[in-house]
Amino acid sequence: MLLFVKNFLFTVLVPGTVAAYIPVRIAGGWSTLTTSSWGWRQVVALVPLLLGTAAYLACVWGFGTVGRGTPAPIDAPRRLVVVGL
């Protein structure tokens, strides 16, 4: 359970900040994203975003289950992870 919490916190703080919080702030905030109409470009942009998110979550899963650690250098996996992405 503690390993899940550590992986979740790392995911929210590091990639979550760079991939979600900062771009949303640059775009003008959450209300700008929810009130404006979406065009085909925004819908197409969701494809690589979802693929990247799935790849990241698969890697975090491998770090947690196989390596018994997190992607954070401060809490590196205890075992070398040589499976998965």
Tell me whether residue 84 is in a domain: no
Residue range 14-37: mean pLDDT, rounded: 80
pLDDT for 31 beyond 80: no
pTM of the prediction? 0.75
Tell me whether residue 63 is in a domain: yes
Domain count, the chain: 1
In this prediction, residue 19 carries a pLDDT of 85
Cα–Cα distance between 68 and 60 in angstroms, integer?
10
Residue 75's alpha-carbon distances to 10, 29, 48, in angstroms, are 10, 32, 29
In this prediction, residue 58 carries a pLDDT of 93
Q: Nearest-CA neighbor of 3 among 55, 85, 63, 59?
A: 63
In this prediction, residue 22 carries a pLDDT of 87
Helix (H) or strand (E) holding 73, with range, is: none
Cα–Cα distance between 54 and 56 in angstroms, integer?
5
Q: What is the pLDDT of residues 39-64, one digit of tens each?
A: 888 788 889 889 998 999 999 999 89
Residue range 68-84: mean pLDDT, rounded: 87
Tell me whether residue 82 is in a domain: no
Q: Which domain holds residue 18?
A: 2-75
pLDDT for 35 beyond 80: no
What is the Cα Rg of the chain in Å? 16
Cα–Cα distance between 5 and 9 in angstroms, integer?
6
